[in-house]
A and B are shown apart, each in its own frame.
Chain A
């Protein structure tokens, strides 16, 4: 006997009997029960499919179907939560909560959405890039330079990521005394963008970092898709604190890169842009001191030379002064010599003096006649007035 079939027949019979005895739910109660079950059992479902019938209603609500072959799911989300550019035919991955509407329509309320596959990611990237560029989000005039000689760096990255470890290693090799404050976030996957946005807000509420570095090492287009999130790009562009990105490799360009004040090609390059090289600084210090020594020596030489010149000038002045005085003395001596009475006597003149000073000269008075060679004593014979 087939007992499985028998069990099934019994259940149907039980149900038929219960239909008459069980208290039925109202339609709204049943929908409520369904939604309660969906919310508790399937709070977060991840579904991948192709977008179809994408539309925005009243500028606020996004509707689209998620399709795969003949299967289709209705999807809904507020426009404000849409952080990528959507078009029909694009393959996306969503995180959603299933729900039954009052009209019995089953739909997924989308919490997060991201494009899947390189082509779709690129397509979404190009559409968003165009949109954000038109809004001036990437305006080069708004870019701020990194602060000079910064010491306090905020980092948003996964602390387990190779890119983050490289970043710290390069900083350690290049410079010392930096204060690095990190917020650990996912850097790929559906939750990554939202976590990085929160981290940006966290740093912007504080005053202890001078720059924010958003870092992630290389990866596939899917791995790096979080950095093409519209909300993340906007958060970077409006950050009060300057932002540098070091995402992927040189060739990877994301919306986050375009929105940042400075784009480094890799996390290692970001470390180089944020730090001075201790070898360079050491060389500069040596050069500075060596130049200083040269400058000091030159200044001393100049001062010595000036002093030497001053001494020379002073000596010259003294000699000139001396010469002038000597000349003056010689002239004076000449004058004095010309006034010497002996010289007058030598010319044949004589000096006559009274032997009795104070007595008037009169006949009989004795006088002394001094010549250049003799003193003669004579007597006045006659006195005759000349006038």
Chain B
């Protein structure tokens, strides 16, 4: 597994985008109370995961070429 991809194969940016979409739903026309509570719980869990990723994940550095030698 690449260092910059979390255990469910989504990058932090993708997870943040997912969270933003979830949040938008609460302010949109599709909002309904029946779905609101599970969606809120999912959003809160996602926020916790993102924060954990931000703490645990590392940046990956790779030197592709060395042009000083040629």
Which A residues fall within an 8 A CB radius of B?
Answer: 149, 151, 158-159, 168, 171-172, 175-186, 191, 195, 198-199, 202, 278, 281-282, 285-286, 288-289, 291-293, 295-296, 299-300, 303
Residues A180 and B26 in contact, CB atoms below 8 Å apart? no
Closest to A194 in B: B67
**A149 and B16 contact, Cβ closer than 8 Å, known pairs A172-B59, A180-B62, A289-B43:** yes
Question: Which residues of B24-65 have CB atoms within 8 Å of chain A's CB atoms?
Answer: 26-27, 31, 33, 36-37, 40, 43-44, 47, 50-51, 53-65
Interface residues of B (CB under 8 A from A): 2-6, 11-13, 16-17, 19, 23, 26-27, 31, 33, 36-37, 40, 43-44, 47, 50-51, 53-68
Are B12 and A177 within 8 A (Cβ)? Answer: yes
Q: Given known contacts A181-B62, A295-B26, is B47 in contact with A289 (CB within 8 Å)? A: yes
| Residues from chain A with Cβ under 8 Å of B54 in the complex | 175-176, 278, 281-282
Beyond contacts A151-B11, A285-B51, A289-B43: 18 other A-B pairs, Cβ-Cβ < 8 A, are: A151-B4, A168-B61, A172-B58, A172-B59, A176-B56, A176-B58, A177-B4, A177-B5, A182-B61, A183-B64, A183-B65, A186-B68, A281-B16, A285-B19, A292-B26, A292-B40, A292-B44, A296-B37
- Asked if B64 and A181 make an inter-chain contact with CB atoms under 8 angstroms apart, the answer reads yes
Which residue of chain B is the closest to A191 with respect to CB atoms? B68
B47 engages A288 (CB within 8 Å):
yes
Closest to B2 in A: A179
| CB neighbours of B68 from chain A (8 A) | 158, 184-186, 191, 195
Q: Which of A178, A184, A295 contacts B4 (CB 8 A)?
A: A178
The residue in chain A whose Cβ has the minimal distance to the Cβ of B44 is A289
Partner of A176, one of B12, B19, B37, B44: B12
Q: Which of B5, B19, B63 contacts A184 (CB 8 A)?
A: B63
